[in-house]
Amino acid sequence: MATPRKFATPVPDRHHPHTLSAIDFQGASSAAAAKAMKAELARFAAQIPNEERRKFFQLEMDNFYMLFARFLDEKAKGAKIEWEKIQSPSAEQIVPYKDIPVTTSTTDLSKLAVLKLNGGLGTTMGCVGPKSAIEVRDGMTFLDLSVRQIEYLNKKHDVSVPFILMNSFNTDDETKRIVQKYASHNVDIITFNQSRHPRIKKESLLPVPLTVDAPIDQWYPPGHGDLYESLYNSGLLDTLLSQGKEYLFVSNVDNLGATVDLNILHHMVESDAEFIMEVTDKTKADIKGGTLIDYDGRIRLLEIAQVPDEHVEDFKSVKKFKIFNTNNLWINLKAIKRVMDEEAMELEIIVNNKTTESGEKVIQLETAVGAAIQHFKNAHGVNVPRARFLPVKSTSDLFLVTSNLYALVHGELHMNPQRMFNTVPLVKLGDHFKKVAHFLSRFKTIPYILELDHLTVTGDVTFGSHVELRGTVIIVANHGERIDIPSGSMLENKVVTGNLRILDH
């Protein structure tokens, strides 16, 4: 049985040092900002007495500096995406899942590794620690479900697909502690860390931290686009290739629909594609998701952060952009090695504006893992069924995945065959339900929702046990009011408002 292992061997000499002279800056202010940043990063490095740690830190700061330099360059040039050049993807660029041949062959599995993006915290849902440690179904966490899936896959097909977690400095310690419980499982679990970059003061464009050991909230993980640099620089990429692995299936740890699909894997091999992005049809609930476009004859990922303000409504439209990125990605490992060796991996910069607790405005320069699609040969999208996109971003999503809408089979969620429609109900739970602890306290049991279309709940509302919801149900408790839905109730196409108290006697 494989034991969990940490993978963080730095390989500091694999990158060529980047110099300021390599960047053609427009404007003295950009050059001054770049020079000041470079001096600060050098000062940080000088504070590290351990040579190995210092080299690895310098490698991370090299990558951060190149991102910063590109940001300044684009800012000086006013470089923006040209809206007129954006075209819908061609038929060759998006393949419908139903057109992919069904395969029963499992030979490709021996060349596969599965990676979950595990850098996020559960703060949005009121939880402390890695989001992957939140319980989502039958007492099991995101991690439990993922490990169970891979363990079943390995046992069923007599293969050894490794399970890799890309952590951030926010999640690494706790994740390493958690994965120890899988030591006796039939899964080789590998963890490695993505980069740590300094937050940037918006006004001065200087780093927020003053020392290399500054508090953790003065640094940030630079988005999941950092996967390529971190995989390469940690040495894990070379290790996987030496083990005969050729394909990497990447997904968000909170997407419960992202399971290994033999048909897509076989299609990737047969089509000689170096990169496949799973997309799915856009609904009005998906207005912020990135989408694939044809730009100057090449396939590209377009994120909302890149869209000019005057075109944001166009971007959100379901008419113009009919699909969105699920962030389920299939990538050829040899191709990643080639692109990284050539230092050709330039991903569009996403500027994330933040305000610290002290009120200071800062920026984080981030990249998206899917943006790399333009760097790979025969890259295309596969339009998959909605069932492959089942994220849990909020307690409204948690409500769905814990309900009788889904059944759990070997760690995978399958929609209940008794549901009449393929669509998932639209659920909007108000602020009283926002945190997981509050959400759990308001339901004696999760209602039956097989025939539900739409649910909106706002205000101080609680649900008894064995409640059934059908059609469209809207429950509104105004300020100062409270509504208790009695145990055993059946609400069908109902609006409930006012006060409703059920008292035990």
Report the distance separating Cα 114 and Cα 68, nearest Å: 31
395-497 topology per CATH: UDP N-Acetylglucosamine Acyltransferase; domain 1 (2.160.10)
Report the distance separating Cα 301 and Cα 317, nearest Å: 16
pLDDT of 21 reads 46
Confidence of residue 504 (pLDDT cuts 50, 70, 90): low
Q: pLDDT digits over 298-351, tens only?
A: 899 998 888 888 888 888 887 778 899 999 999 999 999 999 999 889 899 999
> What is the pTM for the complete model shown?
0.91
Report the distance separating Cα 275 and Cα 297, nearest Å: 17
Question: Minimal CA–CA distance to 126: which of 499, 475, 439?
Answer: 439
Report the distance separating Cα 419 and Cα 406, nearest Å: 10
311 among the known binding-site residues?
no
Report the distance separating Cα 88 and Cα 279, nearest Å: 14
224 among the known binding-site residues?
yes
Confidence of residue 26 (pLDDT cuts 50, 70, 90): low
How many residues in the chain?
A: 505
pLDDT of 98 reads 96
pLDDT of 5 reads 56
294 among the known binding-site residues?
no
Q: pLDDT digits over 206-216, tens only?
A: 999 999 999 99
Residues forming beta bridges with residue 6, ordered by sequence position: 191
pLDDT of 222 reads 94
Q: Is 76 exposed, middle or buried (0-12, 13-18, 19+ CB in 10 A)?
A: middle
Residues forming beta bridges with residue 391, ordered by sequence position: 255
Flag whether pLDDT at 82 surpasses 90. no
Positions annotated as catalytic residues are 393
- E-strand ranges in 232-314 read 247-252, 275-281, 291-295, 298-302
Flag whether pLDDT at 2 surpasses 70. no
Report the distance separating Cα 252 and Cα 391, nearest Å: 8
CATH code matching the domain that covers 76-388, chosen among 3.90.550.10, 1.20.1250.40, 3.20.20.140, 3.90.1150.10: 3.90.550.10
Confidence of residue 468 (pLDDT cuts 50, 70, 90): very high
466 among the known binding-site residues?
no
Q: What percent of the chain has pLDDT over 90?
A: 73
Domain boundaries of the chain, sorted by first residue: 20-75, 76-388, 395-497
Mean pLDDT of 464-471: 96
- Give ∠ CA 420-422-426 in degrees, rounded to 5: 100
Report the distance separating Cα 336 and Cα 115, nearest Å: 14
DSSP state for residue 184 in the 8-state scheme: T
Q: Say which residue the tokens 């419908």 belong to.
A: 96
Which range has the top average pLDDT, 6-10, 91-95, 488-492? 488-492
Mean pLDDT of 362-386: 95
432 among the known binding-site residues?
no
254 among the known binding-site residues?
yes
